[in-house]
């Protein structure tokens, strides 16, 4: 145990030295504090930034929506799904709409494909270095995490449970270990009735405002009601291309 501890300390001393050497004069203080508190200190500034956002998915998710608000939707864009991967359209309505990922609206190198804002050094979202956009980057470090959050919210079940003080968002009972992440307004309903809502307000349906953790039995009941509802409607469980 103590040998392992010694090894870890040695690795961390090396990483700390590498990180300190590679650090520019200006670097986000909260990222640095986070990096030095890690069990394994990230040895490079970019890794420190990635590690910071990975540890703060809720913050990343909010930031990504905030940055997207600055961009707004491109003129002429509407939310569409499609099966041609070259067009960059999402294949299903389950994927969050992202105009700047689409071929016709992408802003090119140096701009984030999720939010449309410029990407700076280390994937940061503000130009702390006055160096202009990083032409090799197409993602903010924060937007990578936000994108993962929106596409796989179940991976953040523990974070969401904590935010709900471990109470089921529907029944108010204590959340069980088998509790599941749910979209309050299901995504098929978003596609069906909110399709024309402005972007990026639409993104909130994938983000924290529309996510809840509920106990499995409550979730099963909710899904049954939703399936019956869909059965009466146009979608009837089919993807939008099929309907």
Residues contacting Zn ion: total by CB under 5 A:
5
* Residue 143 touches Zn ion, criterion: CB under 5 A: yes
> What letter does residue 104 receive in the DSSP assignment?
T
Structure tokens at 140: 């903010």
Q: Which CB atom, from 114 or from 168, has the smaller least distance to Zn ion?
A: 114
Give the number of other CB atoms < 10 A from CB of residue 228: 10
Q: Which CB atom, from 73 or from 143, has the smaller least distance to Zn ion?
A: 143
Near Zn ion in 92-131, by CB under 5 A: 112, 114-115
Question: Which range of residues in 100-108, 135-143, 208-216, 227-235 is near Zn ion by CB under 5 A?
Answer: 135-143
Q: Which CB atom, from 38 or from 62, has the smaller least distance to Zn ion?
A: 62
* Residue 213 touches Zn ion, criterion: CB under 5 A: no
Q: Which CB atom, from 41 or from 114, has the smaller least distance to Zn ion?
A: 114
Euclidean distance between CA atoms 104 and 136, whole angstroms: 20
Euclidean distance between CA atoms 58 and 239, whole angstroms: 29
Torsion of CA 7, 9, 13, 16, to 10 degrees: 120
Closest approach of Cβ 108 to Zn ion, in Å? 14
Question: Which range of residues in 75-83, 139-147, 149-157, 202-210 is near Zn ion by CB under 5 A?
Answer: 139-147
Give the number of other CB atoms < 10 A from CB of residue 183: 17
- CB distance 93 to 190 below 8 Å: yes
Nearest to 56 by CA among 85, 35, 78: 35
* Residue 138 touches Zn ion, criterion: CB under 5 A: no
* Residue 137 touches Zn ion, criterion: CB under 5 A: no
Closest approach of Cβ 117 to Zn ion, in Å? 6
* Residue 65 touches Zn ion, criterion: CB under 5 A: no
Closest approach of Cβ 50 to Zn ion, in Å? 14
Nearest to 143 by CA among 38, 71, 44, 41: 71
* Residue 145 touches Zn ion, criterion: CB under 5 A: no
* Residue 140 touches Zn ion, criterion: CB under 5 A: yes
Peptide bond into 184 cis (omega under 30): no
* Residue 211 touches Zn ion, criterion: CB under 5 A: no
Closest approach of Cβ 52 to Zn ion, in Å? 15
Euclidean distance between CA atoms 80 and 8, whole angstroms: 50
Q: Which CB atom, from 138 or from 181, has the smaller least distance to Zn ion?
A: 138
Q: Tell me the backbone φ, ψ of residue 182, rounded to 5 degrees.
A: -140, 145
* Residue 35 touches Zn ion, criterion: CB under 5 A: no
User: Angle, to 10 degrees, between the axis of helix 29-36 and the axis of helix 45-55?
Assistant: 90
Q: Which chain residues interact with Zn ion by CB under 5 A?
A: 112, 114-115, 140, 143
């Amino acid at each position: 145990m103590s040998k392992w501890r010694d090894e870890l300390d040695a690795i961390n001393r090396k990483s700390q030295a590498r990180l300190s050497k590679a650090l520019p004069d200006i670097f986000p203080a909260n990222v640095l504090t986070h990096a030095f508190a890690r069990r394994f200190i990230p040895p490079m500034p970019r890794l420190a930034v990635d590690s910071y956002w990975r540890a703060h998915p809720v913050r990343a998710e909010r930031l990504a929506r905030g940055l997207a608000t600055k961009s707004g939707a491109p003129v002429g864009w509407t939310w569409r799904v499609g099966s041609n991967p070259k067009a960059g359209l999402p294949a299903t309505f389950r994927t969050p709409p992202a105009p700047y990922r689409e071929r016709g609206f992408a802003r090119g190198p140096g701009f984030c494909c999720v939010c449309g804002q410029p990407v700076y050094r280390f994937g940061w979202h503000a130009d702390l270095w006055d160096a202009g956009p990083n032409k090799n980057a197409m993602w903010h470090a924060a937007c990578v995490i936000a994108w993962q959050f929106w596409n796989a919210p179940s991976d953040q079940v523990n974070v969401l449970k904590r935010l709900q003080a471990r109470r089921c968002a529907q029944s108010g009972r204590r959340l069980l270990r088998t509790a599941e992440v749910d979209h309050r307004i299901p995504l098929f309903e978003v596609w069906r009735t909110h399709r024309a809502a402005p972007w990026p307000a639409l993104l909130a349906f994938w983000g924290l405002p529309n996510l809840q953790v509920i106990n499995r039995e409550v979730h099963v009941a909710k899904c049954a009601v939703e399936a019956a509802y869909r059965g009466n409607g146009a979608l009837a469980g089919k993807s939008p291309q099929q309907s």
